[in-house]
Structure 1
Amino acid sequence: MPNELEDLSYARYLTPLEGELEREGDYDCVHISSDDIDDVEAGHARFNETVFTSMAITRGSMRFSRFTDVWQRNVRWVGTDLSDTSWQDAELIAGALVGVDAGGANLRRVRFEGCKFDSVNFRKAKLREVQFVDCVLRHTDFGDADLTKLSFPGTTVEGLLLNRARLKEVDLRGAVHLNIAEGLDALRGATITPLQLLDLAPEFARTIGITVREG
C-alpha cells in the first residue's frame, strides 16, 4: 500500500469535501482534511476511495458506515463511535485512536502503521488480514472477537484483552513487547517466540492455578 497521498491510484480524482459529513452520506473520491470535526453524526455513510489527512474527529457517531479503499494519515479519532463499521482495503498511517468504540466492526485487509491505540474497544469485531506495523496498543479489547491472519511487526502491545476471542493464524512474533492482561487461554491459534513464551510464563501459571515458589 502507498505511504504518500500522491502515490494513490485515485489521487488525481480527489475533490475537497463540501459541507459537513452527513448521515447516510455517499463520499466517493473525496479529500477530507484540515478542519477538525466535533460531535460528528454520519452513521450509515459510505466512503469509497476517500482520503482523510491531518485532522481530529472527536465524539459523535459514524456507526454502520463503510470505508472501502480509504487512506488516512495523521488522523486522530477520539471518543468516536465506530461500532459496526466496515473497513476493507484501508490504510491508516501515523494516526491515533483514543477511547474509540469499534465493537462489532468488520476489518479486512487493513494496515495500521505508526498508529497509537488507547482504550479501544474491538469486542465482537471481525478482523481478517490486518497488520499493526510499528504501532502502540494499550488496553485494546478484543473480547469475543474473531481474529484471523493478524500480524504485529515492530508493535508494542500492553494490557491486551482477549477474553473469549477466537484466533486463527495470528502472528505475534514481531511484537517488540507483549503483555496480555486478560484472556491468555485465547492464545491458541497464535504464534509467539520462545522469548515471548518465557515472558508470559508467570501469567500462564496464574491462569491455570500453578503456584511458582522458590525452595
Structure 2
Amino acid sequence: MSYIINDEDEFNELTIKDCSIEESNACNVIFRDVVFKNVSFMDIDWESTEFLHVRFENCDLSNINIDKAIFHHSEFISCKLIGTHLMESSMREVLFNGCQCDYLVLGGSNLKDVTFNECRMNQAGFSVCKMNNVQFKYCEMQRAELSGTKLKGIDLSSCIIDGINLRIEDVRGLRLSPTQAVDFSKMLGIQVMEEREGSI
C-alpha cells in the first residue's frame, strides 16, 4: 500500500508496516494513534507535523526533515535517526529506546519528560534546548553539542560524553560521574592536584 500525504491530512488509528514512504513534502499533518513498523522514510519534509500517541518500531528516519514537530506520548524503538532534523520541536512524554541518533538535530526544541535509553548519539545537536525531566541512560554522546542548553538536573553519569560541547554558564546542576568530573574539569582548564602527604 502506498500513502500519499498532503498538507493538513489526518491519519488515525492505523498500523503502517513493511513499506517505504518516499518523496513526501507536506506540513501540518496529524498522526494520531498510529504505529509505524519496519518503515523506511526517504526524502521526507514534514514541517509542523503532529504525532500523538505514535510508535515508531524498527524504522529508518535518517536524513529527513520533521522540524517544528509536536510529539506527545510517542516512542521510537530500535530506530535509525541519523542526521534527522527535528529542530524547534516540542516533545512531551517521548521515549527513544535503543536508537541510532548520530548527528540528530534537535536545536531549539522544548523537551519535557523525554527519555533517551541506550542510544548512540555521537555529534547530536541539542543546542539552545529547554529540558525538563530529560533522562539520558547509558547513551553514547561523544562530541554532542549542548551549548546554550541549561543542564540543571540532567544526569549524564552513565553516558559516554568524550568531547561534549557546552558552555560553563549552563553546567550548574549537571550530574556527572567522578571520572567524568575530572575529565570535564580538564576541558575547562581546571587543574586537579593530588593531595600530598603531610599537607595541612
- What's the TM-score, normalizing by structure 1? 0.82
Deviations 1:79-99 (A, max 9, x none): 211110000111110001122
Unaligned 5+ runs, structure 1: 1-16
Deviations 1:12-58 (A, max 9, x none): xxxxx773233211011111121112222232111111101102112
Larger-Rg structure? 2
Partner secondary structure for residue 148 of structure 1: strand
Aligned partner (choices 39, 48, 64) of residue 80 of structure 1: 64
The 8 Å contact of residues 3 and 21 in structure 2, kept in 1 or not, is answered as no
What is the percent sequence identity of the aligned residues? 20
Aligned to 1:7: none
Partner secondary structure for residue 97 of structure 1: coil
Partner secondary structure for residue 137 of structure 2: coil
Question: For residues 39 and 161 of structure 1, do their structure 2 counterparts lie closer, same or farther at Cα, with a shift above 3 Å needed?
Answer: same
Unaligned 5+ runs, structure 2: 193-200
Q: Which is helix-richer, 1 or 2?
A: 1
Partner secondary structure for residue 28 of structure 1: strand
Aligned residues: 192
Aligned to 2:135: 151
The 8 Å contact of residues 59 and 80 in structure 2, kept in 1 or not, is answered as yes
Equivalent residue runs for 1:65-144 within 5 Å = 65-144=49-128
- Distance in 2, matches of 1:118 and 1:93, equals 15
Deviations 1:167-205 (A, max 9, x none): 342221232x12243214222232222122123222122
RMSD, aligned CA: 2.0
- What's the TM-score, normalizing by structure 2? 0.88
The 8 Å contact of residues 155 and 176 in structure 2, kept in 1 or not, is answered as yes
Partner secondary structure for residue 89 of structure 1: strand
For 2:161, the aligned partner's letter is L
- Distance in 2, matches of 1:141 and 1:27, equals 30
- Distance in 2, matches of 1:89 and 1:180, equals 32
- Distance in 2, matches of 1:28 and 1:161, equals 36
- Distance in 2, matches of 1:80 and 1:110, equals 19
